[in-house]
């Protein structure tokens, strides 16, 4: 069945239901996030084919960070099990597109937009341990109480970073220490442990939630070795200075770690161009109303360009690219 957009009233029954459904879903997340955090997909049926002809297109947008915002999310999009997802950080999409790291083959994922989210993947330790680098850590084999991230956005990166330094997660227990896994970097147990001294090491991203506490306690952020950084670059990781962004403080020398910035919205290459095009139009219309992981509302032109806060190393979807070019956000 083909639809004619001119026949849709400004507030038809279909539009009323769409608006109510979207707001109810958002309201459920606000009121009871744990009830929905691993279960929700937003699915609508779009008219299919060129000129709104052909069979309906079942558009599935993933909104649950618990199972679709990391490596699994990129796989689901790349295999067309879902159509659109938010992925954090950008390097996951780079690896998926290139078939590197946790991805065995290249996946046909494309970007609709990229939101700013400055971050770094780091290992930080209590200064009283007397350790200043990853090489010293490996040499001294200290007994650590490590607060370690465990979620689909960062598990793989932590293991790859440690392996590049000749270590593994299990090394810390082999040295007589303990591992305290946390799903979210903002877990209050981590911040309290840094202050009390019960935790003396952290491996994670999300520096805005715990990094400043560590800085105030005089912790040391360990620079990664140049050899390890070269290995990690082969997978798609970018080396980056620790200072800047949200983490303010004085650091010893040019401390280099892994960039963990960016929050791209991705889809697969077969998403109809018209859907991608009009979705970016909607994004522009609501740009000033939606939340961002940054201090300021980003300009529309930043959604289609790579920057320090929002790396973008995969192609734009053709429909999205057409919108950005028509509106002058990309050079013709």
pLDDT exceeds cutoff 50 at 244: yes
CA atoms within 13 A on the CB side of 266: 39
- pLDDT band per the 50, 70, 90 thresholds, residue 66: low
The CATH 3.40.190.10 domain(s) of the chain lie at: 120-259
With beta carbons less than 8 A apart as the criterion, state whether 218 and 127 touch: yes
3-state secondary structure the chain: CCCCHHHCCCCCHHHHHHHHHHHHHHHHHHHCHHHHCCCCEEEEEECCCHHHCCCCEEEEEECCHHHHCCHHHHHHHHCCCCCEEECCCHHHHHHHHHCCCCCCCCCCEEEEEEECCCCEEEEEECHHHCCCCHHHHHHHCCCCEEEEECCCCCHHHHHHHHHHCCCCCCHHHHCCCEEEEECCCCCHHHHHHHHHCCCCEEEECCHHHHHHHHHHCCCEECCCCHHHHHHHHCCCCCEEECCECCECCCCCCCCEEEECCCEEEEEECCCCHHHHHHHHHHHHHHCCCCCCCCCCCCCHHHHHCCCCCCCCCCCECHHHHHHHHHCCCCCC
Which of 138-147, 157-166, 274-283 is predicted with the least confidence, judged by mean pLDDT? 274-283
Q: What angle do CA 178, 189, 250 make, to 5 degrees?
A: 90
Which of 79-88, 168-177, 193-202, 227-236 is predicted with the least confidence, judged by mean pLDDT? 79-88
- For tokens 């938010």, the residue is 86
pLDDT exceeds cutoff 90 at 139: yes
Enumerate long-range contacts of 298-307, CB under 8 Å, 24 or more apart.
298/115, 298/116, 300/327, 300/329, 301/329, 302/114, 302/116, 303/113, 303/114, 303/115, 303/329, 304/111, 304/113, 304/114, 304/329, 304/330, 305/330, 306/114, 307/116
Q: How high is the pLDDT of residue 170? A: 96
Question: pLDDT tens across 32-41, in order?
Answer: 766 655 445 5
pLDDT exceeds cutoff 80 at 252: no
- pLDDT band per the 50, 70, 90 thresholds, residue 25: confident
Question: Global pTM?
Answer: 0.87
Strand partners, 62: 41
What phi, psi does 202 have (nearest 5°)? -135, 135
Q: How high is the pLDDT of residue 61? A: 83
- pLDDT band per the 50, 70, 90 thresholds, residue 56: low
Query: What average pLDDT score do residues 186-207 get?
Result: 95
Q: How high is the pLDDT of residue 5? A: 47
Rounded CA-CA distance 224/74 in Å is 27
With beta carbons less than 8 A apart as the criterion, state whether 294 and 122 touch: no
Q: How high is the pLDDT of residue 34? A: 64
Domain 5-117+262-326 has CATH 3.40.630: no
Query: What average pLDDT score do residues 10-35 get?
Result: 70
Question: pLDDT tens across 125-137, in order?
Answer: 999 999 999 999 9
- For tokens 């689909």, the residue is 152
Q: Which CATH superfamily is domain 120-259 in?
A: Periplasmic binding protein-like II (3.40.190.10)
In order of 85, 192, 215, 317, the CA distances from 246 in angstroms are 25, 20, 12, 30
């Amino acid at each position: 069945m083909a639809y004619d957009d001119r026949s849709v009233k400004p507030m038809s029954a279909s539009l009323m239901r769409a608006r109510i459904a979207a707001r109810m879903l958002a309201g459920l997340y606000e009121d009871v996030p744990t009830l929905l955090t691993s279960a929700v997909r937003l699915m609508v049926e779009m008219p299919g084919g060129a000129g709104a002809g052909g069979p309906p297109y079942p558009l599935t947008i993933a909104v649950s960070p618990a199972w679709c915002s990391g490596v699994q999310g990129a796989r689901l999009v790349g295999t067309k099990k879902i159509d659109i997802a938010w992925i954090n950080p950008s390097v996951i999409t780079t690896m998926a597109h290139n078939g590197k790291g946790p991805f065995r083959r290249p996946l046909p994922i494309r970007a609709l937009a990229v939101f700013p989210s400055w971050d770094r993947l780091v290992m930080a330790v209590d200064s009283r341990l007397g350790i200043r680098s990853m090489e010293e850590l490996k040499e001294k084999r200290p007994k650590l109480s490590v607060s370690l991230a465990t979620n689909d956005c960062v598990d793989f990166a932590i293991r790859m970073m440690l392996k590049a330094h000749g270590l593994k997660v299990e090394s810390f227990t082999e040295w007589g220490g303990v591992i305290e896994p946390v799903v979210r970097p903002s877990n209050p147990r981590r911040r309290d442990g840094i202050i009390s001294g019960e935790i003396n090491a952290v491996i994670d991203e999300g520096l805005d939630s715990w990094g400043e506490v560590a800085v105030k306690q005089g912790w040391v952020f360990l620079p990664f070795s140049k050899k390890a950084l070269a290995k990690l670059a082969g997978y798609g990781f970018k080396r980056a200075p620790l200072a800047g962004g949200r983490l303010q403080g004085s650091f010893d020398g040019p401390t280099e770690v892994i960039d963990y910035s960016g929050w791209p919205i991705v889809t697969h290459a077969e998403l109809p161009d018209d859907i991608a095009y009009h979705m970016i139009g909607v994004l522009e219309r609501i740009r000033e109303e939606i939340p961002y992981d940054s201090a300021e509302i980003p300009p529309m032109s930043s959604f289609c360009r790579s920057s320090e806060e929002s790396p973008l190393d995969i192609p734009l979807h053709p429909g999205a690219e057409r919108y950005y070019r028509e509106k002058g956000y990309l050079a013709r």
